[in-house]
Structure 1
Protein backbone atom coordinates (compact mmCIF):
# COMPACT_ATOMS: atom_id res chain seq x y z
CA UNK A 1 0.00 0.00 0.00
CA UNK A 2 1.12 3.55 -0.73
CA UNK A 3 2.31 5.47 2.34
CA UNK A 4 -0.34 8.14 1.70
CA UNK A 5 -3.13 5.55 1.92
CA UNK A 6 -1.62 4.21 5.16
CA UNK A 7 -1.79 7.67 6.72
CA UNK A 8 -5.34 8.17 5.41
CA UNK A 9 -6.48 4.94 7.08
CA UNK A 10 -4.64 5.77 10.30
CA UNK A 11 -6.34 9.16 10.51
CA UNK A 12 -9.80 7.72 9.73
CA UNK A 13 -9.41 5.35 12.70
CA UNK A 14 -8.15 8.11 14.99
CA UNK A 15 -10.92 10.51 13.94
CA UNK A 16 -13.74 7.98 13.91
CA UNK A 17 -15.12 9.22 10.58
CA UNK A 18 -14.01 9.80 7.01
CA UNK A 19 -15.32 13.37 7.02
CA UNK A 20 -13.34 14.41 10.08
CA UNK A 21 -10.20 12.68 8.79
CA UNK A 22 -10.57 14.47 5.45
CA UNK A 23 -10.84 17.83 7.22
CA UNK A 24 -7.69 17.18 9.23
CA UNK A 25 -5.75 15.93 6.21
CA UNK A 26 -7.11 18.62 3.87
CA UNK A 27 -8.20 15.93 1.40
CA UNK A 28 -11.57 15.35 -0.27
CA UNK A 29 -13.60 12.84 1.76
CA UNK A 30 -14.77 11.19 -1.49
CA UNK A 31 -11.12 10.41 -2.33
CA UNK A 32 -10.50 8.72 1.02
CA UNK A 33 -13.79 6.82 0.85
CA UNK A 34 -13.03 5.58 -2.68
CA UNK A 35 -9.60 4.30 -1.67
CA UNK A 36 -11.02 2.49 1.37
CA UNK A 37 -13.69 0.82 -0.79
CA UNK A 38 -11.05 -0.23 -3.33
CA UNK A 39 -8.86 -1.68 -0.56
CA UNK A 40 -11.80 -3.57 0.96
CA UNK A 41 -12.57 -5.02 -2.47
CA UNK A 42 -8.94 -6.03 -2.90
CA UNK A 43 -8.85 -7.71 0.53
CA UNK A 44 -12.28 -9.26 0.10
CA UNK A 45 -13.56 -8.10 3.48
CA UNK A 46 -14.88 -4.88 5.08
CA UNK A 47 -12.47 -2.96 7.28
CA UNK A 48 -15.10 -0.79 8.99
CA UNK A 49 -18.60 -1.12 10.31
CA UNK A 50 -20.53 1.90 9.02
CA UNK A 51 -22.52 3.00 12.07
CA UNK A 52 -24.92 5.99 11.98
CA UNK A 53 -22.51 8.42 13.64
CA UNK A 54 -19.09 6.82 13.33
CA UNK A 55 -16.95 4.12 11.84
CA UNK A 56 -15.83 1.12 13.88
CA UNK A 57 -13.06 -1.27 12.94
CA UNK A 58 -13.94 -4.85 12.07
CA UNK A 59 -11.69 -7.71 13.20
CA UNK A 60 -9.90 -7.49 9.85
CA UNK A 61 -9.58 -3.74 10.28
CA UNK A 62 -8.00 -4.20 13.72
CA UNK A 63 -5.36 -6.49 12.23
CA UNK A 64 -4.67 -4.09 9.37
CA UNK A 65 -4.43 -0.92 11.49
CA UNK A 66 -1.85 -2.55 13.78
CA UNK A 67 0.20 -3.42 10.71
CA UNK A 68 -0.25 0.08 9.27
CA UNK A 69 0.91 1.82 12.44
CA UNK A 70 3.97 -0.39 12.75
CA UNK A 71 4.78 0.29 9.09
CA UNK A 72 4.42 4.04 9.59
CA UNK A 73 6.70 3.95 12.62
CA UNK A 74 9.30 1.96 10.68
CA UNK A 75 8.99 4.40 7.78
CA UNK A 76 9.58 7.40 10.06
CA UNK A 77 12.57 5.74 11.69
CA UNK A 78 14.07 4.94 8.28
CA UNK A 79 13.57 8.55 7.17
CA UNK A 80 15.33 9.76 10.30
CA UNK A 81 18.29 7.47 9.79
CA UNK A 82 18.60 8.42 6.14
CA UNK A 83 18.45 12.09 7.10
CA UNK A 84 21.24 11.45 9.59
CA UNK A 85 23.47 10.24 6.77
CA UNK A 86 23.17 13.73 5.34
CA UNK A 87 24.05 15.30 8.67
CA UNK A 88 20.45 16.37 9.44
CA UNK A 89 19.87 14.38 12.66
CA UNK A 90 19.63 17.51 14.74
CA UNK A 91 17.00 20.01 15.80
CA UNK A 92 15.00 20.74 18.93
CA UNK A 93 12.45 18.45 20.55
CA UNK A 94 9.94 20.53 22.49
CA UNK A 95 7.83 18.68 25.07
CA UNK A 96 4.85 19.93 27.05
CA UNK A 97 4.30 17.84 30.17
CA UNK A 98 3.52 17.94 33.89
CA UNK A 99 6.00 18.58 36.67
CA UNK A 100 5.96 15.01 38.00
CA UNK A 101 6.71 13.55 34.59
CA UNK A 102 9.35 16.20 33.90
CA UNK A 103 11.23 15.15 37.03
CA UNK A 104 10.41 11.44 37.00
CA UNK A 105 10.09 9.78 33.61
CA UNK A 106 11.79 12.15 31.17
CA UNK A 107 15.31 12.91 32.53
CA UNK A 108 16.82 9.48 31.78
CA UNK A 109 15.11 9.21 28.41
CA UNK A 110 16.22 12.67 27.30
CA UNK A 111 19.79 12.15 28.52
CA UNK A 112 20.12 8.78 26.77
CA UNK A 113 18.68 10.19 23.56
CA UNK A 114 21.19 13.05 23.51
CA UNK A 115 23.99 10.56 24.07
CA UNK A 116 22.85 8.72 20.93
CA UNK A 117 22.17 11.90 18.95
CA UNK A 118 24.41 14.74 20.23
CA UNK A 119 22.98 17.16 17.67
CA UNK A 120 19.52 17.05 19.26
CA UNK A 121 18.49 19.41 22.07
CA UNK A 122 15.43 19.35 24.33
CA UNK A 123 13.11 22.04 25.61
CA UNK A 124 10.78 20.62 28.29
CA UNK A 125 7.98 22.80 29.65
CA UNK A 126 6.16 21.96 32.88
CA UNK A 127 2.50 22.85 32.30
CA UNK A 128 -1.00 22.26 33.62
CA UNK A 129 -3.34 20.02 31.62
CA UNK A 130 -5.16 22.83 29.73
CA UNK A 131 -1.81 24.46 28.93
CA UNK A 132 -0.50 21.20 27.44
CA UNK A 133 -3.53 20.98 25.16
CA UNK A 134 -3.06 24.59 24.02
CA UNK A 135 0.70 24.24 23.53
CA UNK A 136 0.27 21.16 21.32
CA UNK A 137 -2.61 22.69 19.35
CA UNK A 138 -0.67 25.91 18.75
CA UNK A 139 2.48 24.10 17.68
CA UNK A 140 4.52 25.44 20.59
CA UNK A 141 5.67 21.91 21.46
CA UNK A 142 6.41 18.81 19.37
CA UNK A 143 4.07 16.70 21.51
CA UNK A 144 2.41 16.60 24.92
CA UNK A 145 2.35 14.08 27.76
CA UNK A 146 -0.06 14.52 30.65
CA UNK A 147 -2.71 13.00 32.88
CA UNK A 148 -6.42 13.47 32.16
CA UNK A 149 -6.00 15.73 29.15
CA UNK A 150 -9.33 17.00 27.81
CA UNK A 151 -10.28 15.79 24.31
CA UNK A 152 -9.84 18.34 21.56
CA UNK A 153 -10.22 18.30 17.76
CA UNK A 154 -6.81 20.01 17.72
CA UNK A 155 -5.16 16.92 19.26
CA UNK A 156 -4.43 13.42 18.09
CA UNK A 157 -4.10 10.90 20.90
CA UNK A 158 -1.11 8.72 20.06
CA UNK A 159 -1.70 6.37 22.99
CA UNK A 160 -3.46 6.31 26.35
CA UNK A 161 -1.79 4.53 29.26
CA UNK A 162 -3.89 3.43 32.25
CA UNK A 163 -1.67 4.66 35.05
CA UNK A 164 -2.70 3.79 38.60
CA UNK A 165 -1.91 5.78 41.72
CA UNK A 166 -0.07 3.87 44.40
CA UNK A 167 1.81 4.57 47.62
CA UNK A 168 5.33 5.96 47.30
CA UNK A 169 7.82 5.48 50.13
CA UNK A 170 11.56 5.51 50.79
CA UNK A 171 13.21 2.05 50.75
CA UNK A 172 13.79 2.16 54.51
CA UNK A 173 10.16 2.89 55.39
CA UNK A 174 8.33 0.18 57.34
CA UNK A 175 5.77 -0.19 54.53
CA UNK A 176 8.31 -0.34 51.68
CA UNK A 177 8.53 -4.15 51.59
CA UNK A 178 4.77 -4.71 51.35
CA UNK A 179 3.55 -6.19 48.05
CA UNK A 180 0.26 -4.25 48.31
CA UNK A 181 -1.40 -1.83 50.70
CA UNK A 182 -4.87 -0.69 51.61
CA UNK A 183 -5.70 2.93 52.30
CA UNK A 184 -6.50 1.91 55.88
CA UNK A 185 -2.87 0.76 56.29
CA UNK A 186 -1.84 4.41 56.02
CA UNK A 187 -3.78 5.58 59.08
CA UNK A 188 -1.36 7.29 61.43
CA UNK A 189 1.38 7.60 58.80
CA UNK A 190 2.97 10.95 57.94
CA UNK A 191 1.40 11.81 54.58
CA UNK A 192 2.13 14.31 51.84
CA UNK A 193 -1.05 15.21 49.94
CA UNK A 194 -1.29 16.79 46.53
CA UNK A 195 -3.36 19.94 46.65
CA UNK A 196 -6.58 20.45 44.68
CA UNK A 197 -4.73 21.75 41.61
CA UNK A 198 -3.61 18.19 40.89
CA UNK A 199 -6.06 15.44 39.88
CA UNK A 200 -4.23 13.12 42.29
CA UNK A 201 -6.03 14.77 45.21
CA UNK A 202 -9.54 14.23 43.86
CA UNK A 203 -8.79 10.57 43.10
CA UNK A 204 -7.39 9.92 46.60
CA UNK A 205 -10.20 11.81 48.37
CA UNK A 206 -12.86 9.87 46.44
CA UNK A 207 -11.22 6.52 47.27
CA UNK A 208 -10.97 7.44 50.96
CA UNK A 209 -14.66 8.38 51.07
CA UNK A 210 -15.65 5.07 49.51
CA UNK A 211 -13.78 2.99 52.09
CA UNK A 212 -14.51 5.32 55.02
CA UNK A 213 -10.90 6.24 55.78
CA UNK A 214 -9.71 9.64 56.95
CA UNK A 215 -6.08 10.40 56.08
CA UNK A 216 -5.03 13.81 57.42
CA UNK A 217 -1.66 15.08 56.25
CA UNK A 218 0.78 17.64 57.67
CA UNK A 219 1.99 18.48 54.15
CA UNK A 220 0.04 19.63 51.07
CA UNK A 221 1.61 20.91 47.85
CA UNK A 222 1.09 21.23 44.11
CA UNK A 223 4.78 20.40 43.55
CA UNK A 224 5.40 16.74 42.76
CA UNK A 225 9.10 17.43 43.24
CA UNK A 226 8.47 18.56 46.83
CA UNK A 227 6.27 15.52 47.45
CA UNK A 228 9.09 13.24 46.38
CA UNK A 229 11.70 15.18 48.35
CA UNK A 230 9.71 14.91 51.58
CA UNK A 231 9.35 11.16 51.06
CA UNK A 232 13.03 10.63 50.24
CA UNK A 233 14.33 12.79 53.10
CA UNK A 234 11.82 11.95 55.82
CA UNK A 235 9.42 9.32 57.06
CA UNK A 236 6.52 10.51 54.90
CA UNK A 237 4.62 8.62 52.20
CA UNK A 238 2.57 9.97 49.32
CA UNK A 239 0.46 8.95 46.30
CA UNK A 240 1.91 9.01 42.78
CA UNK A 241 1.88 6.95 39.57
CA UNK A 242 4.88 4.93 38.30
CA UNK A 243 5.91 7.44 35.57
CA UNK A 244 6.23 10.20 38.19
CA UNK A 245 8.95 8.31 40.06
CA UNK A 246 10.68 6.35 37.29
CA UNK A 247 14.06 8.06 37.79
CA UNK A 248 13.89 7.62 41.56
CA UNK A 249 12.89 3.95 41.29
CA UNK A 250 15.81 3.31 38.94
CA UNK A 251 18.22 5.04 41.35
CA UNK A 252 16.76 3.13 44.33
CA UNK A 253 15.66 6.23 46.26
CA UNK A 254 11.90 5.49 46.11
CA UNK A 255 9.63 2.46 45.86
CA UNK A 256 6.11 2.13 44.46
CA UNK A 257 3.55 0.00 46.32
CA UNK A 258 0.24 -0.81 44.55
CA UNK A 259 -3.04 -0.21 46.37
CA UNK A 260 -5.63 -2.98 46.79
CA UNK A 261 -8.42 -0.42 47.07
CA UNK A 262 -10.10 0.47 43.78
CA UNK A 263 -9.05 3.94 42.67
CA UNK A 264 -10.28 5.87 39.68
CA UNK A 265 -7.79 5.37 36.81
CA UNK A 266 -5.37 8.21 36.17
CA UNK A 267 -5.08 8.05 32.35
CA UNK A 268 -1.80 9.28 30.90
CA UNK A 269 -2.12 10.59 27.35
CA UNK A 270 0.56 11.04 24.72
CA UNK A 271 -0.75 13.61 22.23
CA UNK A 272 0.38 15.47 19.14
CA UNK A 273 -1.12 17.66 16.43
CA UNK A 274 -3.38 15.80 13.96
CA UNK A 275 -0.79 15.95 11.19
CA UNK A 276 1.87 14.31 13.36
CA UNK A 277 5.33 15.64 14.09
CA UNK A 278 7.34 17.02 11.19
CA UNK A 279 10.48 16.62 13.30
CA UNK A 280 11.93 13.12 12.69
CA UNK A 281 13.94 13.39 15.92
CA UNK A 282 10.70 13.99 17.89
CA UNK A 283 9.00 11.06 16.13
CA UNK A 284 11.83 8.72 17.06
CA UNK A 285 11.90 9.98 20.65
CA UNK A 286 8.14 9.42 20.93
CA UNK A 287 8.68 5.81 19.86
CA UNK A 288 11.19 5.35 22.68
CA UNK A 289 8.88 7.09 25.13
CA UNK A 290 5.99 4.77 24.21
CA UNK A 291 8.17 1.69 24.67
CA UNK A 292 9.28 2.92 28.10
CA UNK A 293 5.72 3.66 29.20
CA UNK A 294 4.59 0.20 28.12
CA UNK A 295 7.29 -1.27 30.34
CA UNK A 296 6.42 0.67 33.49
CA UNK A 297 2.61 0.69 33.10
CA UNK A 298 1.59 -2.94 32.65
CA UNK A 299 -1.84 -4.01 31.53
CA UNK A 300 -4.18 -2.98 28.70
CA UNK A 301 -3.77 0.30 26.85
CA UNK A 302 -6.23 2.24 24.76
CA UNK A 303 -5.28 2.41 21.06
CA UNK A 304 -5.54 5.92 19.70
CA UNK A 305 -8.79 7.03 18.18
CA UNK A 306 -10.79 3.80 18.34
CA UNK A 307 -13.29 5.17 20.85
CA UNK A 308 -13.56 8.66 19.41
CA UNK A 309 -17.07 9.83 18.59
CA UNK A 310 -17.94 10.80 15.04
Structure 2
Protein backbone atom coordinates (compact mmCIF):
# COMPACT_ATOMS: atom_id res chain seq x y z
CA UNK A 1 0.00 0.00 0.00
CA UNK A 2 1.26 3.44 -0.87
CA UNK A 3 1.72 6.01 1.88
CA UNK A 4 -0.66 8.37 0.05
CA UNK A 5 -3.42 5.75 0.06
CA UNK A 6 -3.06 5.23 3.80
CA UNK A 7 -2.92 8.96 4.53
CA UNK A 8 -6.19 9.55 2.68
CA UNK A 9 -7.74 6.45 4.27
CA UNK A 10 -6.80 7.58 7.79
CA UNK A 11 -8.17 11.05 7.20
CA UNK A 12 -11.56 9.70 6.09
CA UNK A 13 -11.59 7.23 8.99
CA UNK A 14 -10.79 10.01 11.45
CA UNK A 15 -13.21 12.65 10.12
CA UNK A 16 -16.01 10.35 9.02
CA UNK A 17 -16.62 11.94 5.62
CA UNK A 18 -14.98 12.57 2.24
CA UNK A 19 -15.60 16.32 2.36
CA UNK A 20 -14.10 16.73 5.84
CA UNK A 21 -11.08 14.67 4.81
CA UNK A 22 -10.68 16.80 1.67
CA UNK A 23 -10.64 19.95 3.81
CA UNK A 24 -8.10 18.42 6.18
CA UNK A 25 -5.84 17.33 3.31
CA UNK A 26 -6.39 20.51 1.22
CA UNK A 27 -7.42 18.54 -1.88
CA UNK A 28 -10.61 18.05 -3.91
CA UNK A 29 -13.29 15.64 -2.68
CA UNK A 30 -12.93 13.71 -5.94
CA UNK A 31 -9.23 13.12 -5.20
CA UNK A 32 -10.05 11.61 -1.80
CA UNK A 33 -12.81 9.46 -3.27
CA UNK A 34 -10.47 8.21 -5.99
CA UNK A 35 -7.74 7.23 -3.53
CA UNK A 36 -10.22 5.32 -1.34
CA UNK A 37 -11.71 3.54 -4.36
CA UNK A 38 -8.22 2.60 -5.60
CA UNK A 39 -7.27 1.25 -2.18
CA UNK A 40 -10.45 -0.84 -1.90
CA UNK A 41 -9.96 -2.16 -5.43
CA UNK A 42 -6.32 -3.10 -4.74
CA UNK A 43 -7.25 -4.93 -1.53
CA UNK A 44 -10.44 -6.44 -2.92
CA UNK A 45 -12.24 -5.31 0.26
CA UNK A 46 -14.85 -2.76 1.26
CA UNK A 47 -13.31 -0.45 3.84
CA UNK A 48 -16.19 1.98 4.33
CA UNK A 49 -19.97 1.86 4.43
CA UNK A 50 -21.27 4.86 2.48
CA UNK A 51 -24.03 6.61 4.41
CA UNK A 52 -26.12 9.72 3.57
CA UNK A 53 -24.23 11.74 6.18
CA UNK A 54 -20.77 10.27 6.11
CA UNK A 55 -18.56 7.21 5.97
CA UNK A 56 -18.35 4.43 8.57
CA UNK A 57 -15.57 1.86 8.79
CA UNK A 58 -16.36 -1.77 8.05
CA UNK A 59 -14.73 -4.47 10.19
CA UNK A 60 -11.99 -4.74 7.54
CA UNK A 61 -11.58 -0.97 7.67
CA UNK A 62 -11.22 -1.02 11.47
CA UNK A 63 -8.46 -3.63 11.16
CA UNK A 64 -6.63 -1.52 8.59
CA UNK A 65 -7.04 1.58 10.77
CA UNK A 66 -5.55 -0.27 13.76
CA UNK A 67 -2.63 -1.41 11.57
CA UNK A 68 -2.01 2.12 10.31
CA UNK A 69 -2.07 3.55 13.83
CA UNK A 70 0.38 0.90 15.09
CA UNK A 71 2.78 1.68 12.25
CA UNK A 72 2.62 5.41 12.98
CA UNK A 73 3.25 4.90 16.70
CA UNK A 74 6.16 2.52 16.12
CA UNK A 75 7.75 4.95 13.65
CA UNK A 76 7.36 7.78 16.16
CA UNK A 77 8.92 5.56 18.82
CA UNK A 78 11.96 4.82 16.66
CA UNK A 79 12.38 8.53 15.89
CA UNK A 80 12.09 9.35 19.59
CA UNK A 81 14.74 6.75 20.48
CA UNK A 82 17.09 8.17 17.83
CA UNK A 83 16.66 11.66 19.27
CA UNK A 84 17.22 10.39 22.81
CA UNK A 85 20.53 8.85 21.70
CA UNK A 86 21.85 12.31 20.83
CA UNK A 87 19.88 14.76 22.99
CA UNK A 88 18.80 12.67 26.00
CA UNK A 89 15.22 13.87 25.71
CA UNK A 90 12.55 12.70 28.17
CA UNK A 91 10.59 9.62 27.02
CA UNK A 92 6.88 10.16 27.63
CA UNK A 93 4.20 7.67 28.71
CA UNK A 94 0.65 8.84 28.03
CA UNK A 95 -1.96 7.28 30.33
CA UNK A 96 -5.75 7.66 30.17
CA UNK A 97 -7.85 6.73 33.20
CA UNK A 98 -11.02 7.65 35.11
CA UNK A 99 -10.98 9.99 38.10
CA UNK A 100 -10.94 7.20 40.68
CA UNK A 101 -7.54 5.97 39.50
CA UNK A 102 -6.13 9.48 39.04
CA UNK A 103 -6.96 10.63 42.57
CA UNK A 104 -4.25 8.76 44.51
CA UNK A 105 -3.23 5.32 43.25
CA UNK A 106 -1.83 6.21 39.82
CA UNK A 107 -0.05 9.47 40.81
CA UNK A 108 1.59 7.60 43.68
CA UNK A 109 2.73 4.79 41.36
CA UNK A 110 4.08 7.30 38.83
CA UNK A 111 5.98 9.23 41.51
CA UNK A 112 7.68 6.08 42.78
CA UNK A 113 8.57 5.00 39.23
CA UNK A 114 10.13 8.39 38.41
CA UNK A 115 12.43 8.09 41.42
CA UNK A 116 14.27 5.26 39.65
CA UNK A 117 13.56 6.44 36.08
CA UNK A 118 14.00 10.23 35.95
CA UNK A 119 14.40 9.99 32.17
CA UNK A 120 10.70 9.06 31.81
CA UNK A 121 7.91 11.64 31.86
CA UNK A 122 4.13 11.17 32.02
CA UNK A 123 1.07 12.71 30.42
CA UNK A 124 -1.98 11.77 32.52
CA UNK A 125 -5.41 12.27 30.94
CA UNK A 126 -8.45 11.93 33.22
CA UNK A 127 -11.47 10.80 31.19
CA UNK A 128 -14.44 8.42 31.37
CA UNK A 129 -13.57 4.71 31.15
CA UNK A 130 -14.96 4.26 27.63
CA UNK A 131 -13.02 7.30 26.43
CA UNK A 132 -9.79 5.93 27.96
CA UNK A 133 -10.13 2.79 25.84
CA UNK A 134 -10.89 4.87 22.76
CA UNK A 135 -7.75 6.99 23.25
CA UNK A 136 -5.62 3.82 23.30
CA UNK A 137 -7.37 2.51 20.21
CA UNK A 138 -6.73 5.82 18.41
CA UNK A 139 -3.07 5.87 19.43
CA UNK A 140 -3.50 9.02 21.53
CA UNK A 141 -2.68 7.19 24.77
CA UNK A 142 -0.14 4.43 25.40
CA UNK A 143 -1.98 2.85 28.35
CA UNK A 144 -5.56 2.89 29.61
CA UNK A 145 -6.67 1.98 33.13
CA UNK A 146 -10.38 1.50 32.69
CA UNK A 147 -13.48 -0.08 34.17
CA UNK A 148 -14.83 -0.90 30.69
CA UNK A 149 -16.77 -4.16 30.42
CA UNK A 150 -16.07 -4.80 26.72
CA UNK A 151 -13.04 -4.53 24.44
CA UNK A 152 -13.08 -3.10 20.90
CA UNK A 153 -11.03 -4.21 17.92
CA UNK A 154 -7.58 -2.67 18.25
CA UNK A 155 -7.37 -2.85 22.07
CA UNK A 156 -5.63 -5.54 24.13
CA UNK A 157 -6.29 -6.20 27.84
CA UNK A 158 -2.98 -6.96 29.55
CA UNK A 159 -4.51 -7.73 32.94
CA UNK A 160 -7.71 -7.43 34.90
CA UNK A 161 -7.93 -6.64 38.62
CA UNK A 162 -10.89 -6.96 40.94
CA UNK A 163 -12.42 -3.57 41.75
CA UNK A 164 -15.51 -4.44 43.77
CA UNK A 165 -17.49 -1.53 45.16
CA UNK A 166 -17.36 -1.17 48.94
CA UNK A 167 -18.22 1.34 51.66
CA UNK A 168 -15.69 3.91 52.85
CA UNK A 169 -16.26 5.22 56.39
CA UNK A 170 -14.57 6.40 59.58
CA UNK A 171 -13.20 3.73 61.91
CA UNK A 172 -15.62 4.92 64.61
CA UNK A 173 -18.69 4.62 62.36
CA UNK A 174 -21.60 2.56 63.82
CA UNK A 175 -21.33 0.15 60.85
CA UNK A 176 -17.57 -0.35 61.25
CA UNK A 177 -17.93 -3.54 63.32
CA UNK A 178 -19.74 -5.41 60.54
CA UNK A 179 -17.57 -7.75 58.41
CA UNK A 180 -19.75 -7.04 55.35
CA UNK A 181 -22.67 -4.74 54.61
CA UNK A 182 -26.01 -4.89 52.84
CA UNK A 183 -27.70 -2.04 50.97
CA UNK A 184 -30.33 -1.70 53.71
CA UNK A 185 -27.59 -0.97 56.28
CA UNK A 186 -27.00 2.41 54.62
CA UNK A 187 -30.54 3.79 54.73
CA UNK A 188 -30.15 5.85 57.92
CA UNK A 189 -26.74 7.35 57.15
CA UNK A 190 -25.63 10.27 54.94
CA UNK A 191 -24.13 9.04 51.67
CA UNK A 192 -21.83 10.31 48.95
CA UNK A 193 -22.41 8.46 45.67
CA UNK A 194 -21.19 8.74 42.11
CA UNK A 195 -23.42 10.77 39.80
CA UNK A 196 -25.98 8.91 37.66
CA UNK A 197 -24.49 7.50 34.47
CA UNK A 198 -21.25 6.16 35.97
CA UNK A 199 -20.52 2.42 36.16
CA UNK A 200 -20.35 2.65 39.97
CA UNK A 201 -23.76 4.29 40.24
CA UNK A 202 -25.29 1.84 37.75
CA UNK A 203 -24.20 -1.19 39.79
CA UNK A 204 -25.36 0.47 43.03
CA UNK A 205 -28.77 1.20 41.50
CA UNK A 206 -29.05 -2.43 40.32
CA UNK A 207 -28.15 -3.74 43.78
CA UNK A 208 -30.66 -1.39 45.43
CA UNK A 209 -33.41 -2.41 43.04
CA UNK A 210 -32.84 -6.12 43.67
CA UNK A 211 -32.74 -5.50 47.44
CA UNK A 212 -35.87 -3.34 47.41
CA UNK A 213 -33.94 -0.41 48.87
CA UNK A 214 -33.92 3.25 47.81
CA UNK A 215 -30.83 5.27 48.71
CA UNK A 216 -30.88 9.06 48.51
CA UNK A 217 -27.37 10.54 48.54
CA UNK A 218 -26.46 13.63 50.50
CA UNK A 219 -23.84 14.32 47.83
CA UNK A 220 -23.64 13.06 44.25
CA UNK A 221 -20.31 13.63 42.53
CA UNK A 222 -17.91 11.82 40.17
CA UNK A 223 -14.76 13.10 41.87
CA UNK A 224 -13.01 10.71 44.25
CA UNK A 225 -11.53 13.63 46.17
CA UNK A 226 -15.02 14.73 47.22
CA UNK A 227 -15.88 11.24 48.46
CA UNK A 228 -12.71 10.97 50.51
CA UNK A 229 -12.89 14.50 51.95
CA UNK A 230 -16.54 14.27 53.04
CA UNK A 231 -16.05 10.85 54.66
CA UNK A 232 -13.09 12.20 56.62
CA UNK A 233 -14.99 15.33 57.66
CA UNK A 234 -18.30 13.70 58.70
CA UNK A 235 -18.26 10.92 61.37
CA UNK A 236 -21.34 9.18 59.93
CA UNK A 237 -20.82 9.74 56.20
CA UNK A 238 -20.45 6.67 53.95
CA UNK A 239 -18.88 6.84 50.50
CA UNK A 240 -19.20 4.07 47.95
CA UNK A 241 -16.10 3.35 45.86
CA UNK A 242 -13.63 0.60 44.98
CA UNK A 243 -10.85 -0.31 47.41
CA UNK A 244 -8.21 0.22 44.73
CA UNK A 245 -9.26 3.86 44.31
CA UNK A 246 -8.31 4.60 47.94
CA UNK A 247 -5.45 2.12 48.16
CA UNK A 248 -2.71 3.44 50.43
CA UNK A 249 -4.93 6.04 52.10
CA UNK A 250 -7.52 4.09 54.09
CA UNK A 251 -5.50 3.06 57.15
CA UNK A 252 -3.36 6.22 57.22
CA UNK A 253 -6.47 8.43 57.22
CA UNK A 254 -8.27 6.52 59.97
CA UNK A 255 -10.84 5.00 57.61
CA UNK A 256 -12.27 1.58 56.76
CA UNK A 257 -13.39 0.11 53.44
CA UNK A 258 -15.97 -2.65 53.93
CA UNK A 259 -17.30 -5.06 51.29
CA UNK A 260 -20.95 -5.62 50.41
CA UNK A 261 -22.85 -8.92 50.40
CA UNK A 262 -24.71 -8.00 47.20
CA UNK A 263 -22.95 -9.90 44.34
CA UNK A 264 -23.70 -7.14 41.81
CA UNK A 265 -21.18 -4.87 43.53
CA UNK A 266 -18.40 -7.41 43.03
CA UNK A 267 -18.75 -7.64 39.25
CA UNK A 268 -16.53 -4.64 38.52
CA UNK A 269 -12.90 -5.02 37.43
CA UNK A 270 -10.08 -2.68 36.48
CA UNK A 271 -8.43 -3.39 33.14
CA UNK A 272 -4.95 -2.40 31.95
CA UNK A 273 -5.23 -1.86 28.18
CA UNK A 274 -2.81 -1.11 25.33
CA UNK A 275 -3.16 -1.02 21.56
CA UNK A 276 -3.45 -4.54 20.14
CA UNK A 277 -0.29 -5.92 18.48
CA UNK A 278 1.71 -2.76 19.13
CA UNK A 279 5.42 -3.21 19.84
CA UNK A 280 5.83 -1.21 23.04
CA UNK A 281 8.97 0.89 23.58
CA UNK A 282 11.18 -0.14 26.49
CA UNK A 283 10.16 2.77 28.76
CA UNK A 284 6.44 1.92 28.41
CA UNK A 285 7.07 -1.81 28.93
CA UNK A 286 9.11 -1.03 32.07
CA UNK A 287 6.35 1.12 33.53
CA UNK A 288 3.71 -1.52 32.73
CA UNK A 289 5.76 -4.11 34.65
CA UNK A 290 6.07 -1.73 37.59
CA UNK A 291 2.36 -0.82 37.43
CA UNK A 292 1.34 -4.48 37.43
CA UNK A 293 3.25 -5.08 40.64
CA UNK A 294 1.62 -2.07 42.30
CA UNK A 295 -1.83 -3.30 41.24
CA UNK A 296 -1.14 -6.77 42.62
CA UNK A 297 -0.05 -5.23 45.93
CA UNK A 298 -3.23 -3.13 46.04
CA UNK A 299 -5.51 -6.09 45.21
CA UNK A 300 -3.64 -9.34 46.06
CA UNK A 301 -4.99 -12.63 44.68
CA UNK A 302 -7.54 -10.73 42.62
CA UNK A 303 -5.99 -10.34 39.20
CA UNK A 304 -6.01 -12.23 35.94
CA UNK A 305 -3.67 -11.84 32.99
CA UNK A 306 -4.73 -12.15 29.38
Q: TM-score range by the shorter chain?
A: 0.5 to 0.7
Mapping 1:113-128, distance limit 5 Å: 113-128=113-128
- Measure the CA separation in 2 of the matches of 1:95 and 1:197: 23
Is the 1:165–1:241 contact (alpha carbons within 8 Å) kept by the matching residues of 2? yes
Is the 1:196–1:202 contact (alpha carbons within 8 Å) kept by the matching residues of 2? yes
Residue 241 (str. 1) matches residue 242 (str. 2): yes
- Measure the CA separation in 2 of the matches of 1:96 and 1:227: 21
Partner residue, 1:287: 289
Give the Å deviation of 1:25. 7.8
Give the Å deviation of 1:200. 0.6
Using a 3 Å threshold, how does the CA distance of structure 1 residues 247 and 160 change in structure 2: closer, same or farther?
A: same
Partner residue, 1:40: none
Is the 1:95–1:144 contact (alpha carbons within 8 Å) kept by the matching residues of 2? yes
Is the 1:130–1:149 contact (alpha carbons within 8 Å) kept by the matching residues of 2? no
Is the 1:24–1:275 contact (alpha carbons within 8 Å) kept by the matching residues of 2? no
Mapping 1:25-104, distance limit 5 Å: 90-104=90-104
Using a 3 Å threshold, how does the CA distance of structure 1 residues 270 and 230 change in structure 2: closer, same or farther?
A: same
Partner residue, 2:48: none
- Measure the CA separation in 1 of the matches of 2:90 and 2:277: 21
Partner residue, 2:261: 260
- Measure the CA separation in 1 of the matches of 2:275 and 2:66: 10
Is the 1:165–1:263 contact (alpha carbons within 8 Å) kept by the matching residues of 2? no
Range 164-173 or range 244-253, more displaced:
244-253
Is the 2:63–2:153 contact (alpha carbons within 8 Å) kept by the matching residues of 1? no
Mapping 1:215-234, distance limit 5 Å: 215-234=215-234
- What are structure 1's unaligned runs of at least 5 residues? 1-19, 27-83, 305-310
- Measure the CA separation in 2 of the matches of 1:87 and 1:295: 36
Partner residue, 1:57: none
Is the 1:160–1:303 contact (alpha carbons within 8 Å) kept by the matching residues of 2? yes
- What are structure 2's unaligned runs of at least 5 residues? 1-61, 69-83
TM-score (norm 1): 0.66
Structure exhibiting the larger radius of gyration computed from Cα positions: 2
Give the Å deviation of 1:96. 0.3
- Measure the CA separation in 2 of the matches of 1:205 and 1:104: 26
SS in 2 for 1:249: coil
